A and B are shown apart, each in its own frame.
Chain A
Amino acid sequence: MTERHGGTPVPVGTTPGGPSTPVDQTATRAVGSAPTAGVATPENGSLAGAASRPGDPRSGGGQPTDALVALDAVHVTFVTRKGLFRSGRVRALNGVTLAVARGETLALVGESGSGKTTLGRVSLRLTDPTSGTVTFDGQDVTRLGDADLGWFRRRAQIVFQDPFSSLNPYMRVGDLVAEPLVIDGVRDGGERGERVRAALEAVELLPAARFSEKYPTQMSGGQRQRVGIARALVRDPEYIVADEPVSMIDASSRIEILDLLRGLQEGRGVAFLSITHDIASARHFADRIAVMYLGQVVELGAAGQVVEDPLHPYTQALIAAVPEPDPSNRFRRRAVVPGEQTGAADLPSGCPFHPRCPRRIPGVCDVVRPLLADHTPGHAVACHLYPASTPGPMPPGSVALDLVGASSATRRLGPTP
């Protein structure tokens, strides 16, 4: 975790020193309430304390060293209305430590409601974290106000992949793409025109001059999506969050967009956080995959490794559920995990996946929250089946405490969605 009060911001995982000061005490502190000396504390899911000890298997958690965007121990809690007088708390993110390296594509996969979009928005400071820090290019942007965020807003962008609702139908494509530059105060019409043309060419809307004159309604869904990407690209960002809606119906147009984004990443060195529900496409278009479940990253590693050698039972279930085109599929039932992801409003104790997990260890999984920790170098998992994930020695017969929700009063609550 980076120092919040003074000092030079340092990317996650490199700060020497002990466990971070907990801002939010609600994450599971397993096995009694005091951290045992010499054992990584699971507080906030932060790896900062452990990361400083060389040779500690818990260090790293698959995090890159050249982080462009880094989230450390990020929690986001939304207050929701439940009836007239009661309010509920939804823990959209529950202790996420994750970094996107310069020029890489990191895919976030998981079910809807697992916190993917919230994570993407927090990384852009479009949603404020309840606790934890967000760093961009070494600078702590967690507490910067809108007035100081200008530079960041230009360098980090979001692309909405809903081709139907995200573009003003009354504006020509050229004006839609120029709009961010107008907002940024680029007055020179020649420069604007040049940058719009370059952005349209980058997304292969060719000839750019012809597409500039069109209205969104005169274009196909795939072309409209490209306009959305051009709007982000025109600012020449280093980091783009690409959020793919579950309802995005057409498989072939999805691949077209992923292919385009991959080209931009390879050609221009843009870093992408690619949000998707499809682990098969993530395997081909991302460098690394982070699997999320109920507000937590449960597995993180190189894309091929996560798919070929999934460690977490949830990742294994996700992969087993992918329908590959195989005519013998129809003669066998799929192995499925029972039930559905519970809402983030009532998080299970211990491992968030334990109510559905076919391999849960009674007395452990329902009690102690597993930590995201390297199982092999660069491949991290948060599951008690892997020793590195279990915080500290488990005293025999101990009744570990799950403090989730116990001290929510100390939390600074984030904005209501």
Chain B
Amino acid sequence: MPNHRQNTFMHPKFAVVGHPNKGKSSIVAALALDDSVHISNTSGTTTKKRSFPLRVDGKVLYELFDTPGFQRARRVLAWLEKHDVSADKKHEVVQAFINEHKEDARFNDEVELLEPIMDGAGIIYVVDASKPYGEEYEAEMEILRWTGQPSMALINHIDDTDYSAEWKRALGHYFKMVRTFNPMQTNFEQHMSILESMAQLKEEWIAPIKVSIKLFTQYQEQMFESSASLVARLVYESVSTVEKLYFYTQEASEEEKGKIERNYKDRLRDFEISTQKSIEEIWNHDHLQKEEKVLTFEGMDLFSEETASVFGLTRKELLITGVTSGAVTGAGIDLLFAGHTLLLGGAIGALVGGTGAYFGFNELSEVKVLGQTMGRRYLEMGPMENRNFPYILLGRAMYHTMKVAQTSHAKREVFDIEMDQTFKEKWLDVTSRKSLEKYHKKFRSGKALDAVDLKAYEALLNHILRHLIDG
């Protein structure tokens, strides 16, 4: 009995095969969320089959194989045809071909790609429909037919030209199912829908793939939650962190004051960088190459009004935020158009809240001199008093997370994180700003973090992220 008969009760396997350079590895990378797959414009990039199992707690639910492209299809087909037998024995001839050519360097690619198929894998035949159909594909499809394994075709478009009509006609002769999939712009639904199609290849695969789809949903949930909790932590730590610098003289020198400020800012930047790294890891984008402006504090920076209006809040908006979180009455709107009204009307709370926001705008956090006793004095900086800061940080983190979550694992170009003006409107509306401000205020207060608050803040961020990413 050949292998694949015995293996029918194992987990579903799928071999992604096709002509060289048609996006097989890209499709596998996208489906397996693996950004370490070698993808390049050179044909013959993949030379060895590689397994991408979906594992849950160590148990494999299904397995996807990336394979090299056909290099000598006609020669293989000629060999098979020379050993022609009746249709029910054809797969045995393919197995015989593999056995005979295992050590033959000429057929390395074919052996590699046929092995998982003969091991029971369903066939996912990838073509690039941005190029015209050509007769050279027939030999490959014929070989695949010899294996007797269930198969489907997946149409990819490497560029914008479209020859899918002629492709569909040709593929229709060989494959029962023809689907279109773009590995570069995939989203969760498309991903799941391809999985569903793959399940159709064999009846006994439907159930395990259903389970896999559920798991993917759960996996995505985990990613969102972990991201939200990392971002929440980033904001909390950055806002509440306190930098200390001991000095032993009577008074701190200018140099020491500069140093503490530098240390403080560096620490904030480090928080951001390491959070971004962790978020990339969560979304399996460990290899992401990105081009991004670091969190800067000078020039076109975090605290310039220009940046503030892009990433965070403008002075005006801050005023509203400050007012609404401090006010008891709705007098806040009057305050916006300040002038004399500012002094005339409005509750005291609103006045204090609003003006506080206004004046807090340009300050980071003042340097305090503390610990006068015992001869050990220290400078202290933090918690972050700038009210705009958490929004800038959040805006950047949200943007980064969104980009990372939406980037296909098949992308290999440098990834540009350049936020545009419209992003703020996308993530921050009046209601979420109000609810966020409540927590930012707590973070600033230097009070111990409350587990319930943290959870609620995370949930809020999760909600915003969902909205941003799922649209």
A in complex with B: no
CB within 8 Å of A: which residues of B?
Answer: none
